[in-house]
Structure 1
Amino acid sequence: MKNITTTDELAAFCAQAREHPYVTVDTEFLRERTYYSKLCLVQLAMPGEGAGTAALVDPIAGDLSLDPLYELFADTSVVKVFHAARQDLEIFQVDAGVIPQPLFDTQVAAMVCGFGEQVGYETLVRRIARAQLDKTSRFTDWSRRPLSEAQMKYALADVTHLRRIYEYLAKELEKTGRHTWVAEELATLTDPETYVTRPEDAWKRIKTRNGSGRYLAVVRELARFRESHAQARNMPRNRVLKDDALLELAATKPATVQDLHKSRLLLREARKGDVADGILAAVKSGLDCPDGDLPKPDKSREKLQVNPALADLLRVLLKGKAESYGVASKLIATAADLDALAGGLRDVPALSGWRHDVFGADAIRLCEGRIALRAKGSVIEVVEL
């Protein structure tokens, strides 16, 4: 194992890694007290078993630039292998506008290869690498130095076992010809837009039962302020304003600081200073919003007349298809997809790409009464009508 703390050391390791077909990557970070993740450690491993084939890159203890790593990420001759890559990729995209290419996510590949829903790294280590992980350092403060031997061993295991897992899953995909399935799933992960959070759209993540346009306008402006304030000060959005307090404020529409003190849910720090001023300005902006600019809730699915019997049949078809293809059922279609299909909608992910071939085409035929389902032992068969 190499403990890299300088740019020259990182450049040398990355140059060596570029001589191999793939490199495994993981990160350790903290996000509890910040808006953006604080990168604490990068783990890398290339094929082989020697001591020099794996490294811990320490951006805290050392004075280094990650530019050599980003150059490796841009080298399309080397596959970058992650497990559950989304949070790792967000760090690199926010830090340097870099998305590793080409990308391989072993969690996605494992779901395609029949290892179940959202399969964890520990499960793959046990089932594929035939090893056990030492979990004693799972919950640790990765920003503190020096790192203990146990911490370094734990962090390194996240990329050393990943080599065996990647090689196994890559062979399975080669056998089944499902590389394109994984590629479709990774398209969202490799899209920089995935990691962009726009304050003006933040309100769409907040669940509310009130569909009033004026109420939603205040929710929108409060959410916009919260997101902008959190981003500018690199602090968690809930440290500015929690969702339940935001919804309370949208309902009570405070106009003065004294009104803020009447809130049951507002944090004490939010009742004064910049946050209080921002809240009051946001409420006023929402109330002053022209009628033509009021947000409209998405009610397209509220009007669905879901046929419950058809939805149940679609669930049976999905289960049969998932078992037949050895693919996690939730990767093929969600419960919301099935209800949408049973309600007559056709603009759902389950009807596009590889999902259409595996499930979607027969799902449509089932909805249209052109096929039936038959149980033969434990197998669900499609019967032409």
Structure 2
Amino acid sequence: MRQALLVSVAASRSALAPDLELLADLARAGGRLGIDTEFVSEGRYLPLLCLVQIAVPDPSAVSGVRVELLDPMAASAPDPQPLAAVLADASIEVVMHAGRQDVAILSREWRTSVRCLFDTQVGAAFAGLGAQLGLTALVGALLDRRAARSASFTRWDARPLDEEQLAYARDDVVHLIALADALHERLDGSGRLEWAREECRRLEHSSDERNPETAYRRLPRVARLNGRQRAVARELAAWRERTAAAENRPLGSVLGDAQLVELASRQPTTTDQLRQTRGLHPPTLRRRGDALLEAIARGLAAPPLAREDDERPPPSAGLAPLISLSEALVRARVAEAAIAYELVATRADLQAIAQCSRSGAPEPSVRTLTGWRRELVGAELLELLAGHRSLSIERGALRVRDV
């Protein structure tokens, strides 16, 4: 049955500059702060923060929750320092839903850190409700309420914001504290609350700021380049990052990934050679040709660049059966624990583990072998690949035995 939730809200477009000191005091008194952001990333180097939604416990509100909206784009926007201090206070739980990008934007814009994060999407995955569960579905599943989602894709950077946008924004935070309560109860009962908290701590370090000198590591197929090509790729990627940041435009509008890797592979040294690169259009050549040749020249003059330890080489032949065996064990254990598989391992993680096990190399630095994941299945997976465990099917179920 749908339930109505009454909250204390700033009801008009003119009320987007709340008393942040009061909100910070309420958050400290209640030990909780629910927060969400609206932003625009299209056509920009980094996302633009457009709106911040805040929910705090408030005994004077009918529902016990106070919701306020803050417009950081307004000329009269208050200094966010009171809320920034709350985010960095390890004694106050910060509740978000799918908050990785929110953490990154708030940390950058408010020059703060986020501590004691509880992400309700992460909590839902540990509660057996599925990975990547949306806010609307989670509110319906746990609170038997409906969340309005009519303004999800809208121009948050346009002013003034209309009432539909403001209602949508409030709805994004109004249920966060109640969701956290419901998930805490479930996870505490299943013994998974500390696992969820550990996973949320990983999100506290989310950042959207990039180091130009290491940007090349994110390029597709970079592991296939030789040392000289990698040095050129590093210079091209660093130039692209700095250019995109200076012009506040997406990386791809400066130079596409495919073209960058192709230039690193072929290493043209003249404009005529640049023209032979597929996808490098005449306007780009006219505007950026000299800069591209200069970046390539810097890469050619630099020492060849060795592969980083954390870069995974292409899989060796015959590795697929070991990866499949590993996946079978992981899926069996997550099914028993009633948590989402996506929380525990990716195929790349399993590939790295299998590759190192097969070659006798030290354990790879992958999340499956750390913290609660190692406790759940990581240590057992290493024993399986070392030949100390075996898998069999008994009565339609997977069984693990000592060897």
**With structure 2 as the length reference, what TM-score do the two structures score?**
0.85
Give 3-state SS (helix, strand or coil) of 2:125's partner: helix
Shift of 1:32: 0.8
Q: Is the contact between residue 27 and residue 33 of structure 2 (CA under 8 Å) also seen in structure 1?
A: yes
Note if 1:243 corresponds to 2:257.
Answer: yes
Cα distance in 2 for residues equivalent to 1:100 and 1:300:
30
Shift of 1:309: 3.9
Shift of 1:198: 0.8
Change over 3 Å in CA distance of 1:171–1:264 after alignment to 2: same
- Alignment deviations for residues 291-338 of structure 1 (CA, whole Å, 9 cap, x no partner): xx4344778643646554443332222121111111111212222233
1:36 is matched with 46
Cα distance in 1 for residues equivalent to 2:241 and 2:317:
36
1:78 is matched with 92
Q: Is the contact between residue 39 and residue 156 of structure 2 (CA under 8 Å) also seen in structure 1?
A: yes
Shift of 1:257: 4.6
Cα distance in 2 for residues equivalent to 1:24 and 1:32:
26
2:132 is matched with 118
2:83 is matched with 69
Q: Which has the larger displacement, 230-239 or 340-349? A: 340-349
Q: How do 1:1-385 and structure 2 match up within 5 A?
A: 1-2=9-10, 4-6=15-17, 9-47=19-57, 50=62, 53-61=66-74, 63-64=76-77, 65-191=79-205, 194-208=207-221, 210-257=224-271, 259-273=273-287, 275-290=288-303, 293-296=304-307, 301-302=313-314, 304=316, 306-345=318-357, 346-347=363-364, 348-377=366-395, 379-385=397-403
- Alignment deviations for residues 210-263 of structure 1 (CA, whole Å, 9 cap, x no partner): 422222222111101001111233221112111122123334434345554554
**Which runs of no fewer than 5 residues in structure 2 stay unpaired?**
1-8, 358-362
Cα distance in 2 for residues equivalent to 1:201 and 1:249:
18
Shift of 1:372: 3.1
**Which runs of no fewer than 5 residues in structure 1 stay unpaired?**
none
Q: Once superposed, which parts of structure 1, at least 4 consecutive aligned residues long, lie more than 6 Å away?
A: none
Cα distance in 2 for residues equivalent to 1:303 and 1:76:
42
Opposite residue 167 of structure 2, the aligned amino acid is: K
Opposite residue 69 of structure 1, the aligned amino acid is: L
Q: Is the contact between residue 11 and residue 68 of structure 1 (CA under 8 Å) also seen in structure 2?
A: yes
Opposite residue 140 of structure 1, the aligned amino acid is: T
Q: Is the contact between residue 34 and residue 55 of structure 2 (CA under 8 Å) also seen in structure 1?
A: yes
- Alignment deviations for residues 57-98 of structure 1 (CA, whole Å, 9 cap, x no partner): 112245122222212213333211011111111112222331
Q: Which has the larger displacement, 41-50 or 324-333? A: 41-50
TM-align CA RMSD: 2.6
Q: Is the contact between residue 148 and residue 168 of structure 2 (CA under 8 Å) also seen in structure 1?
A: yes
Q: Is the contact between residue 128 and residue 164 of structure 1 (CA under 8 Å) also seen in structure 2?
A: no
Q: Is the contact between residue 241 and residue 267 of structure 1 (CA under 8 Å) also seen in structure 2?
A: no
Cα distance in 1 for residues equivalent to 2:177 and 2:272:
60
Cα distance in 2 for residues equivalent to 1:244 and 1:211:
13
Change over 3 Å in CA distance of 1:281–1:308 after alignment to 2: closer
Opposite residue 5 of structure 1, the aligned amino acid is: L
Give 3-state SS (helix, strand or coil) of 1:41's partner: strand
Shift of 1:9: 2.3
Q: Is the contact between residue 35 and residue 95 of structure 2 (CA under 8 Å) also seen in structure 1?
A: yes
Change over 3 Å in CA distance of 1:339–1:262 after alignment to 2: closer
Give 3-state SS (helix, strand or coil) of 2:133's partner: coil
Shift of 1:268: 4.7
Q: Is the contact between residue 117 and residue 201 of structure 2 (CA under 8 Å) also seen in structure 1?
A: no
Q: Is the contact between residue 315 and residue 351 of structure 2 (CA under 8 Å) also seen in structure 1?
A: no
Cα distance in 2 for residues equivalent to 1:238 and 1:268:
16
- Alignment deviations for residues 197-217 of structure 1 (CA, whole Å, 9 cap, x no partner): 110111111113742222222
Change over 3 Å in CA distance of 1:256–1:160 after alignment to 2: same
Cα distance in 2 for residues equivalent to 1:126 and 1:100:
28
Q: Which has the larger displacement, 90-99 or 153-162? A: 90-99
Q: Is the contact between residue 32 and residue 93 of structure 2 (CA under 8 Å) also seen in structure 1?
A: yes
Q: Is the contact between residue 211 and residue 297 of structure 1 (CA under 8 Å) also seen in structure 2?
A: no
Cα distance in 1 for residues equivalent to 2:165 and 2:312:
50
Give 3-state SS (helix, strand or coil) of 1:109's partner: helix
Q: Is the contact between residue 23 and residue 56 of structure 2 (CA under 8 Å) also seen in structure 1?
A: no
Give 3-state SS (helix, strand or coil) of 2:296's partner: helix
**With structure 1 as the length reference, what TM-score do the two structures score?**
0.89
Cα distance in 2 for residues equivalent to 1:282 and 1:94:
29
Percent of aligned pairs with the same residue? 34
